Chains A and B, each alone.
Chain A
Amino acid sequence: MSTLEIKNLNVSIGDRPILKDFSLTIPKGEVHAIMGPNGTGKSTLAKALAGHPDYTVTSGEVWLDGKNVLETEADERSRAGLFMAFQYPSEIPGVTIANFIRAALQSRLAEGEELDATAYYKKLYQKMDLLKIDRKFTSRAVNEGFSGGEKKRCEILQMAMLEPGYAVLDETDSGLDIDALRIVADGVNSLRGPKLGVLLITHYQRLLNYIVPDVVHVMYDGRIVKSGPKELALELESKGYDWVKDLVPA
């Protein structure tokens, strides 16, 4: 049951239904890409999975390794192994990246248990080397005054440290130049493996040149209208999104 399974998920913002009977299963070890035009519900899917309070789940199920997580708060879902890389990550003034990640890891320990500081920094530096991140980076306050690329790199570093079972990457490529894109993609690729399932949300095909997905899904009007191998992304690139409208069931 090592899967992230989304079953007939319906999500509204206020009274407006956004996701409509959305279903998708991501097994661990696979990278699934979701593509689709703007306003089709891609980010809503990410936020709803993560448990954002502004998104109301009206029906459906989300199973994380066999556990229904819809009734749990965002922090519990995180600790259960769900990670979301934000499209627009928040600034946390005065809190360094190192301290933030440390607090996040600490929150995974049982009460009274204390994170071993030496082991923590050893692991942190190891991951930073892996992701080619400068040592000075983690003494900066989380996302404060960061460039687009730095924000994304900060997200990927957190992901590397928290070692989630499933990661949802929400428009990780937005606002990145090609060099930054490559760095982020290298980071994600280095974390790929049998213990990680990835849901890659993107508007453009170009990210998929760097992170090659196992499956591509096309999303339109709150649901998946077509799924296929990685070549599907290229088809979308050449044909645009207009034709997918015809795939919507009546």
Chain B
Amino acid sequence: MPGEDTTALEIDREKGNFSYDIKYAYDAGTGLNEGVVDYICDVKGEDDWIRAFRKKALKIFEEKPMPTHWATKDLETINFDKIRYYLAQDKKPKRTWDEVPDDIKQTFERLGIPEQERKFLAGVEAQFDSEAAYSNIKEAVGKQGVIFMGSTEALMKHPEIFRKYFGKVIPTADNKFSALNSAVFSGGSFIYVPPGVKVSHPLQAYFRINAENFGQFERTLIIADEGAEVTYMEGCTAPKFNTSTLHSAVVELVALKGAKIEYITVQNWAANVFNLVTKRAWAEEGATVKWIDCNIGSRLTMKYPGVVLKGRGARGEVLSIALANDGQHQDTGAKMIHLAPDTTSNIISKSISVGEGRATYRGQVHIPKHLTGCKNNTECDALLINTNSRTDTYPAISVRGNKNFVQHEASVSKVSAEQIFYMMQRGLTEGEAMSLSVNGFVNDLTRQFPMEYSVELKRLIDLEMEGSVG
């Protein structure tokens, strides 16, 4: 029964746990130095300003200490000298699945990407290690002027838009890992939606790590011009290797006046991945940015999606779910920086800790004194499955002035033995009962997700909980 003992989970990652022996045409070798940065620039044929940007970032990365004064010491176990920073089979993504080399194509077929694309997506980008192997947008969407391509490609083809916003939402020196990403970034998505264009179906990117000892550093930049609307979904998996893998992305969103961006992540990293990601958005007047962030798997995830509410009436939202299984630490949260009057933000965070899993919520809400009419709502709920499961909450809410409104609620609950017995008396196995409890706990959030993703999330939770009982 729950609460009595904890049994290490045999995590079923059947779907993502496989890798193929790929011959990489481009390999920057192991370890990080200026030579690696030059190699990446040369392979990609990048302009000098990017080379300079990368090299400056490398310096900042080297100078910045690990943030272990507030974050977990586990970060110190990352050995940056043992990681491979750039691996690619080809520099240019293919436009049809037929052109994608078989060994890479079979990976994405096993993950079901081409099928999803046919069913409900407006465009897909599939990244394999450092570069996109496939990138395509449905013709009708392309005709509306929507740009959707890999960052590498966008840098060449649309430098005027790219450069205007690149690194502006998240400066290189924001943190050690944003600096690392800025030095060696490769892949990721670039999206531009012209004024007034509403993209009716989601655009999706799939990030796949195939190689061992590898670091994936995608860089995503999404710009929704005035009155535009777009939904972007990302999925991530990696096989379970014996050594650690690093995933350190930077994602910048820009929602111009009246625009709407919804960014959905369902990650299912293997339990050896360090997932250290910086995600932030700008929301201008009347714009809305919504982050839906589901963190399952990884050894350590540190991720605090944020919205800088720059224009009057802007709205920011973070809905997040984290599931920390035995040996995992989900250190997640949200940041809401109110810089204009009448801006509202909403944070709902739900975490589940299983066995010795640890879930940490860190939130930052900032409303300065001179603003009026700002509102923030923060709710963080934690569910503990076993008695030795752990959860911590660090909400930092600074609200000044007396014409703003803030509300904060936090709860910690436990799946009780009585609840499990009740469900088992109805025929559910202990694992099924746990699963149902956890799905119920996140239900009011997942109801707000697009159907395809809430179904996928439920499946992942079921897999995680299935083995969670001894």
Which A residues contact B (CB, under 8 angstroms)? Answer: 50-54, 73-75, 77-79, 83-84, 86, 89-95, 99-101, 103-105, 107-108, 141, 158, 162
Contacts and interface: CB of A to CB of B under 8 A. Distances in A.
Contacts of B417: 53-54
Interface in B412-466: 413, 416-419, 421-430, 432-433, 436-437, 439-444
A52 B424 CA distance: 9
B420 to A, nearest CB: 9
B430 A75 contact: yes
A92 B425 contact: no
B78 interface: no
Q: What's the dominant secondary structure at chain B's contact region?
A: helix
18 contacts: A50-B421, A50-B425, A74-B421, A75-B424, A78-B427, A84-B425, A86-B425, A92-B419, A92-B423, A93-B441, A94-B440, A94-B441, A94-B443, A95-B439, A100-B423, A103-B426, A107-B428, A158-B426
Given A107-B427, A107-B428, A92 B421 contact: no
B1 interface: yes
Interface in B286-319: none
Contacts of A158: 426
A100 to B, nearest CB: 7
Nearest to B422: A90
Contacts of A50: 421, 425
Contacts of B423: 90, 92, 100
Contact of B426 (A91, A94, A104): A104
A103 B436 contact: yes
A90 B419 contact: yes
Contacts of A53: 1, 417, 421
B443 A107 contact: no
Closest 7 CB pairs of A and B: A94-B440, A94-B443, A95-B440, A104-B426, A90-B422, A74-B424, A78-B427
A101 B425 CA distance: 12
Nearest to B435: A103
A103 B432 contact: yes
B469 to A, nearest CB: 11
A95 to B, nearest CB: 4
A140 B220 CA distance: 41
B320 to A, nearest CB: 16
Nearest to B446: A94
A83 B424 CA distance: 11
A103 B437 contact: no
Contacts of A86: 422, 425
B425 A94 contact: no
A207 B437 CA distance: 33
A89 B422 contact: yes
A103 B428 contact: yes
Given A90-B419, A92-B419, A79 B427 contact: yes
Nearest to B423: A92
B410 to A, nearest CB: 16
Nearest to A92: B440
B429 A107 contact: yes
Interface in B1-24: 1
Given A53-B421, A78-B424, A78-B426, A100 B1 contact: no
Contact of B424 (A73, A89, A92, A105): A73
A225 to B, nearest CB: 28
A100 B424 CA distance: 11
Interface string B259-296: 00000000000000000000000000000000000000
Contacts of B444: 94
A6 B51 CA distance: 81
A107 B444 CA distance: 24
Nearest to B416: A90
Contacts of A84: 425
Contacts of B426: 78, 100-101, 103-104, 107, 158, 162
Contacts of B443: 94-95
A234 to B, nearest CB: 32
A89 B426 CA distance: 12
- Most chain A CB inside 10 Å of its own CB: which residue of B419, B442, B444: B419
A48 to B, nearest CB: 12
Contacts of B441: 93-94
A92 B439 CA distance: 10
A92 B437 contact: yes
A70 to B, nearest CB: 15
A108 B436 contact: no
A95 B436 contact: yes
